[in-house]
């Protein structure tokens, strides 16, 4: 085994598991692991194009998307009771804008300041189809979702209930 702490060093006793639980050590070969990891780098071109056109629409600057190449997207599903606490999007090592698209139920989006998770903040109702961009001096603004408004998804948006939010990001990571 080609690892620093193989099974000979890091002893991994075979656990006794209850019915229905199955543990298969080393099921994936290294080649299969490499293949799977490589799949994570296949960010779809259509989403890069979507991100670029969103930036152009948001800023009104026809060249705003030229240097923008998102390499990650987070998709969150919110049911009636879901919330997201105030936070900064700071896992990325790039200062490029975050682009947020909303589909389904309207939510209350709390968009705050870059210093604290508390006031001053603004509450904005993000509805299905809305685009929100936070870049430049707002890139590190605290934000969160205190509330979903159930039953507000428009007919034809593809979602019967709940809300989907897609955020595109430039991670600035090579990994
Ligand atoms: O759902 C939203 O509009 C915000 C999502 C968000 O802040 C995040 O995914 O980091
Ligand atoms: Fe966020």
pLDDT in tens, 24-73: 999 999 999 999 999 988 999 999 999 999 999 999 999 999 999 999 99
Check which CATH number belongs to the domain holding 59 and give it: 2.60.120.590
Cα(165) to centroid of ligand 1, in Å?
6
Residue 84 lies in a domain: yes
Nearest CA to 170 among 141, 145, 137, 133?
Answer: 133
- Please, which pLDDT band fits residue 2 given cuts at 50, 70 and 90? low
Predicted confidence (pLDDT) at residue 1 exceeds the cutoff of 60: no
Q: Tell me which residue range forms the domain holding 104.
A: 44-169
Residue 24 lies in a domain: no
Mutation test residue for ligand 1: of 84, 98, 110, 129, the one with most atoms within 8 Å of CB: 84
8 A C-beta contact, residue 72 and residue 175: no
7 or 45, higher pLDDT: 45
Q: What is the predicted ipTM? A: 0.99
82 or 41, higher pLDDT: 82
Instruction: Quickly tell me which residue has 């030229």 as its tokens.
Output: 66
DSSP 33: H
Residue 71 lies in a domain: yes
The number of folded domains in the chain is 1
Give the residue-averaged pLDDT of 114-122.
98
Residue 20 lies in a domain: no
In this prediction, residue 4 carries a pLDDT of 66
In this prediction, residue 136 carries a pLDDT of 97
Cα(22) to centroid of ligand 1, in Å?
35
In this prediction, residue 12 carries a pLDDT of 86
Residue 16 lies in a domain: no
With a pLDDT cut of 70, the percent of the chain lying above it is 95
Q: Which two tokens stand for residue 66?
A: 């030229």
What is the sign, positive or negative, of the torsion defined by CA atoms of 42, 47, 52, 55?
negative
Torsion over CA of 137, 138, 142 and 147, rounded to 10 degrees?
A: 170
Contacts by 61-68, CB closer than 8 A, 24 or more apart: 68/96, 68/97, 68/170
Mutation test residue for ligand 1: of 82, 149, 165, 168, the one with most atoms within 8 Å of CB: 165
In this prediction, residue 41 carries a pLDDT of 86
In this prediction, residue 174 carries a pLDDT of 77
Predicted confidence (pLDDT) at residue 6 exceeds the cutoff of 80: no
Q: Which two tokens stand for residue 7?
A: 């099974």
């Amino acid at each position: 085994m080609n690892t620093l702490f193989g099974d000979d060093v890091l002893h991994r006793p075979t656990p006794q598991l209850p019915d229905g639980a199955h543990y298969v050590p080393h099921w994936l070969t290294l080649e299969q692991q490499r293949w799977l990891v490589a799949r994570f780098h296949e960010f779809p071109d259509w989403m890069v194009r979507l991100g670029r056109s969103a930036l152009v629409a948001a800023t009104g600057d026809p060249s705003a998307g030229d240097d923008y190449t998102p390499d990650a997207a987070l998709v969150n599903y919110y049911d009636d009771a879901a919330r997201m606490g105030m936070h900064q999007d700071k896992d990325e090592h790039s200062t490029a804008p975050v682009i947020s698209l909303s589909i389904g139920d309207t939510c209350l989006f709390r968009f705050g300041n870059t210093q604290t998770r508390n006031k001053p903040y603004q509450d904005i109702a993000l509805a299905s189809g809305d685009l929100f961009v936070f870049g430049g001096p707002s890139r590190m603004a605290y934000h969160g979702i205190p509330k979903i408004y159930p039953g507000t998804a428009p007919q034809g948006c593809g979602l019967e209930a709940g809300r989907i939010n897609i955020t595109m990001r430039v991670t600035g990571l090579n990994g």
